Each structure stands twice: as C-alpha cells, then as structure tokens.
Structure 1
Amino acid sequence: MMDRREFIVSASAAAATSAIAAPAVAAPMAKTKLRIGYLHTVAVDEQIWLADHLGAWARNGLDPQFKEYKTGIELFNAMGAGDIDMLATGAVVSNFPARGQGKMFLANSIEYATAQLWVREDMGVRQFADLRGKRVATTAGTTAHVFLDNALRENKMTAADIDLAGMPMPQAVDAFITGNVPAVALWVPFNIAVREKVPQAKMLLDAGVFYPSAAVVDGWAASNTYYAANKPVLARVVRAWIEANDMLMARTNEALGILHDKYYPQVPLRDIKEQFGAMRVFPTAVWRRLYSNGTIVEWLQQVTDFYARVTKIANPVPAAQYFDPSIFLSVTKD
C-alpha cells in the first residue's frame, strides 16, 4: 500500500507532467457571426449600440454584422431573401410574422408618441375634421399608418374619408414641406425636419393619446429557419440586449450621451432625448412581467388586427403563436 509520502511525491510528479503538457493559455472561443438588420432610429437600435459600447456582444460570444435599412418592410424582405438572419424593427414586427414570415423573440421598446400627425393650417387644416377629403401622406404598413388608422377610428372616420397618399417617409415629409400635401403622419425623427423647415406647421396629435390601448411594440424577429436551429444563439442575443437595456434604465443620461457621441453624432442631443421621451422602455423585471402576463401578446395582436384588416391578411398567425417569450423568460428566470 502507498504511504502518504509516496502519494505526495507521485501526485507532484503527475501534476508537473500535466503542467508541461497543457497549453499556457486556452484558445479563445470562436464567436458566432450574426447578420442583423436594423432601423437607425432610437426606438429600435438604442440597445444595439449600447451593447456594442459595453462590449456585450463579444462578451456573449457574438460577432454581429449590422446592416441598416430604411423601413421594416425592407428589413423583412431582406430576411426573406436570406440576406440577414434577424432584424430589429418597429410596428411591422406584428405584420410579417402574422403571415408566417419570421418568429419574434424579443420586445425592444413600446412606441408611446413616436408617431405624429402634422398639418398645415395655411392649407386649410386646423382640426382633425378638416382632414375629410384632404390628401394625407404616410408610409403604408408602418407605425405611422397604424397610428393614422387609430386616429381616424377615434374620430369616427375611415381611410375612405381622406385621400391617403402612400409613399416612403422621406418623400412623404418632403411633400408636406413643399406644400404638396396638407397633412403627414410620420414617426420621429422626421418631425425635426418638419419643425425646422415649416415653422408654421402644427402637430395635431401624437400616438400618446391612444396609449396603452393602441400601443405599438418594436422588437426583434429571426427568420423561421434561423429561429428553429439557433435558439441558444438567440438566448445570447437576449443576454447582450439585457446588459444594454439595464444601462439605459439605470444611467439614462449617460446612455443617451453615448448614443449621441458615438452613434448619432449628426443628431443634436436634445433631439435624441426627445425621441427617447416618445417611447417606453422598462427594467428587466418589468419586461419579464409584461412577457409573463400576456401584455406583450395583447399589444402585438392589436397591431396584427390592423394589418389583417387593412392589408387583407388571410388567416393571420395570432401573436400568441408568432411571438416566443420563452427565450427571454429562460434567460431572466434567475
């Protein structure tokens, strides 16, 4: 039988041999490459860039490649074509997944007053009733269109009561500025150009008057194939997002300053703060409650109902099926 001294000598020799054979530094884990499309507006990409600033993507083993698009419709078309794996967008996250195109897995923010209706009193529009028979520009199928539909219904009108001019938002805003249309339903930050170039223009109302009964959820969706095969990767995306969201909640002024300095240098800080004030974001614990009690599903379904009615979606997939809260809930269970 080996005595204690023999055991110590033998163990020490084995340890020395092991130390010689082992590499000095473990090889770094390869990062997972992701192709992520996004809209460059604070309500959609604030956590993306704060996660970048914090190093949260790399810390979670991710190497995201970001590509900017101008509308959510462009984003979903790109994902459908296989150009990106996932996306962060606005109201259309309640549209395409309801058509079976993509799976939503993360809520990003709630649009509170990001959509606004601007009118020109010099063209005969002073109150909402004056819109009857008038041309109103907006981008069909977007947050602004959802807001306009809510405003019409609240005022006992329908799209048939106005001359709805659908066009990309830059053109819609330009048409308003140049006096080709007397009203435009837009989303921030397009209001800044209107305010600066048409000082006599009037913001008639914003989407805040319909909150929360007509809340619009911004969020993330992955392609069907990516979602089915990469749920652990999506969980890492959620973890990186949570780091950024926690900073946004705990140190808001610092976070907005970072967004301005590093990612929105061309936008005055006051405008970034205005955009942030037009949305709602929550601490992780509150998000978890909204996921768990069905509130997010309810808000998504409200907007899906709009798309089903206005764009004639046949047999839309309900929000309870196209939105998967389990990834976020599993990450935050502790």
Structure 2
Amino acid sequence: MFVLTASFLFATPQRATAEELLKARLAQNLGPISGLTIVANAKGIFARQGLDISVSNFTSGKQCLDTVLGGGADIATTAEAPVTAAAMAQQPIAFVAGMEYSDLKTMTAASAGIKTKADLRGKRIAFTAGTGSEVYTSVLLKAAGLTSKDVTLVNLRPQEMLPAMAAGSIDAFDTWEPHVANAKKALGEGAIPLETKGLYSETFNIVVTQSYLAANPAIVSKFLASLIEAEGWLKAHPDDAIDVIATATGMKRDELASIWPDYVYRVRLDDRILTTLKTHAAWRLETGNHPPGASMPDFSRVLVTAPLKTLDPARVTLEARP
C-alpha cells in the first residue's frame, strides 16, 4: 500500500504569462521513446499547462538520470535500468510515471552470417552498459543458450554502434530505435535484423528526486498533466505526431512511420512497470551488477503514485505489492 505524503492542488490550466510560468529543466533522451515529452514541448502543451521547460538532450536514459542526480536537471526521461541502479545505490529517486514501452532489437552485420540467436556464439556484440540494452543482451544470450563467455561483449554508446559495424569491428549490436533503423538505412543489405520480437520490452519513464518532488509538487503535477494531454493529441493525430517527432529527432519521416507501431505511448503506473523493475533488479542481483551489499529495492519507496493518481486515478493500476 502506498502512503500519500504530500498534497497536490490542481486547477484547470489557463494561459499563463511568461512571468507566471513555472520553470523546470528536463533531461531528455532524444528519440521516439521520448515522444510524449517531445510533443508536449513542440505543441506548446507545457506552456499551456503553465510550465517553462528547458530541454537538454542526451542519447541514453542513464545520462538523463545521472544529470538529474548531479543537479544539472530536474526531471529525467529514463528506462528501468538506471532506475534500479539508483534504487540499489539508495539514491532518493521518485518514479512518478511510465510514458512508453517498446521492444529492444538486435542488428547484425550480413557478413557475420547470424541467422538465429544461437549463431551469436563467438561473435562480437555491442551493448550499452547501465541501460536496458545490457539487460536485453543478457536475456538474449540466455534465450540463445549462451553466456557472456560464449561471445565478446563490447560496451558502446548507441550512436557509436553503426560506425563500429560499418568499420567491421562488431558483428551485432543490441539497442533501441531509431539506431536500428538508422543502421539499416546506412548499411542496406549489409545489415540484417535478428528476430527477437517480444524478448524484452524496455519502459521509458519520468523520474525526479524525492526532494524535488517535495519542493515542487505543482511542477510535477503540471508536467504529468502535459504528458497526458500530449498522449491524447498524439493518438488523435498520429500522422502529425510522426512529423513532429521525426523533425525533433532528425529522423526521416518514412523511417519513423515504418517503426511507429513499435511504440506504445501511455502515461501510467501499472504492474507491467513494477514487474519490469523487479525483473531488472533480480538480474542485477544474479549477475553482481549492483553496489556492494545491495538487496532487492523496496519499490513502494520508489514508485510515487500521488501526483498521477490525483490527476487520473484510472492511470494507476498497481495491484501487486511493490
């Protein structure tokens, strides 16, 4: 059971003057996984909700959360991997909403001859440490009947994977879109996606620090209200949403349109999020990828339901005990 420790006041949003807007700094992973924050910013929804949001863009959710924890931003878009790492390190984070989930993918070099998961044996596989890419890689190897000792793992940032494959220094890489689509576009027949659909879905979420939430409940409330409004607009205008997100991320419109069904946008706190967090934390404990002395986090101290539940109770459907 969650204890609501703060009061949140909400009013019908009205047009605010520049002087009245509440300021906040967003650390955003600039990709379609951040589609709702991209839309909220591009369509003026943040301002309509009374916010002045300055955006700093990064290439991973880990960088976003690290920036927030370091004081360089107030709000992070991030996946479950950085969340579990922070929770196990006893960082005072507040997970206030999920906003998207989508499958991670594997792209292979045609020259590597990888036709099935088992063909990954002996290959050089790129991943991004500290992100969902690392967990996905572990799950992929397990599904292939392999361990990390059966392959050569190469830690790269997502934007480094395509150049590495083009140079022939890796045989495959595990990451999120749009990096997989970008590789296919750049390498053509030289890049072949490996079938892994449904193997691992990464969530993308909104996280702040506990102290920021306590000091700025109105900002967090307005931010989540903005995402809910952006979700409604995105679903009502999918073609326009593709235009907006493609422009913001530098993707070709047709390339984003081809993978658009991969992205499931919904502002929520549900059992899928909790299960993903627990699965990820269990993986950390099994592999030793955690701070010394860490144990399974008490996610009732991490997942904070009050802001979203006050806005729309139907979006909070946690039934399992955190």
Aligned to 1:304: 281
Distance 1:243 1:254 in 2: 15
Stretches of structure 1 lacking an aligned partner (at least 5 in a row): 1-25
Report the equivalent of 1:21. none
Tell me which of 8, 31, 37 is aligned to 2:21: 31
**Cα distance 1:156–1:28, how it changes in 2: closer, same or farther (>3 A)?**
closer
Q: Give how far 1:299 is off.
A: 2.5
Letter in 2 for 1:281: Y
Is 2:224 aligned against 1:238? yes
Larger radius of gyration: 1
Structure 1 segment 185-264 matched on structure 2, within 5 A? 185-198=174-187, 199-206=189-196, 208-210=197-199, 214-261=200-247, 263-264=248-249
Change (3 A) 1:235 1:148: same
Compared with structure 1, are the counterparts of its residues 158 and 27 closer, same or farther at alpha carbon in structure 2 (3 Å cutoff)?
A: closer
Shift of 1:307: 3.4
Partner of residue 127, structure 2: 138
1:267 aligns to 2:251 (yes or no): yes
Query: Which of 95, 100, 112 pairs up with 1:104?
Result: 95
1:40 aligned residue? 30
Aligned-partner Cα distance in 2 for 1:97–1:186: 21
**Bigger helix share:** 1
Q: Number of residue pairs matched?
A: 293
Is the Cα contact below 8 Å between 2:118 and 2:145 reproduced in 1? no
CA contact (8 A) 2:36 2:265 kept: no
Deviation string, structure 1 residues 154-196 (Cα, Å, up to 9, x no partner): 2222222211111222223221121111121122111233213
**C-alpha distance 223-96 of structure 1, shift in aligned 2 (>3 A):** farther
- In structure 1, distance between residues paired with 2:227 and 2:295: 33
Indicate the RMSD between aligned Cα atoms, in angstroms: 2.4
Letter of the 1:135 partner, please give it: R
Q: Deviations over 1:268-309 (max 9, x none)?
A: 111222343222124x6xx4xxx36x3321222222323343
Q: For 2:286 and 2:203, how far apart are their aligned partners in 1?
A: 18
Q: Are 2:110 and 2:192, in contact at CA under 8 Å, matched by a contact in 1?
A: yes
Q: Which residue of 1 aligns with 2:265?
A: 281
In the alignment, residue 191 of structure 2 is paired with which amino acid? Answer: A
Tell me: CA distance 1:304–1:61, structure 2 relative to 1, closer, same or farther (3 Å): same
Which position in structure 1 is the counterpart of 2:4? none
Residue 327 of structure 1, aligned match among 286, 307, 312? 307
Structure 1 letter corresponding to 2:272 = T
- Could you list the runs of 5+ residues in structure 2 that have no partner in the other structure? 1-15, 315-322
- Using the alignment, how far apart are the partners of 1:333 and 1:144 within structure 2? 32
- In the TM superposition, residue 218 of structure 1 has moved relative to its aligned partner by 0.6
Cα distance in 1, alignment partners of residues 146 and 300 from structure 2: 30
Normalising by the residue count of structure 1, what TM-score does the alignment of the two structures yield?
A: 0.80
Change (3 A) 1:308 1:235: farther
State whether residues 93 and 218 of structure 1, in contact with CA within 8 Å, keep that contact through their aligned partners in structure 2: no
Matches of 1:54 and 1:186, distance apart in 2: 29
Task: Provide the rounded CA distance (Å) in 2 between the counterparts of 1:168 and 1:250.
Answer: 34
Contact 1:97 1:103 in 2 (8 A): no
**Identity over aligned pairs, percent:** 18
TM-aligned CA deviation for residue 28 of structure 1: 7.8
**Partners of 1:281 and 1:64 in 2: how far apart?**
21
Q: Distance in 2 between matches of 1:315 and 1:234?
A: 29
Question: What letter corresponds to residue 274 of structure 1 in structure 2?
Answer: S
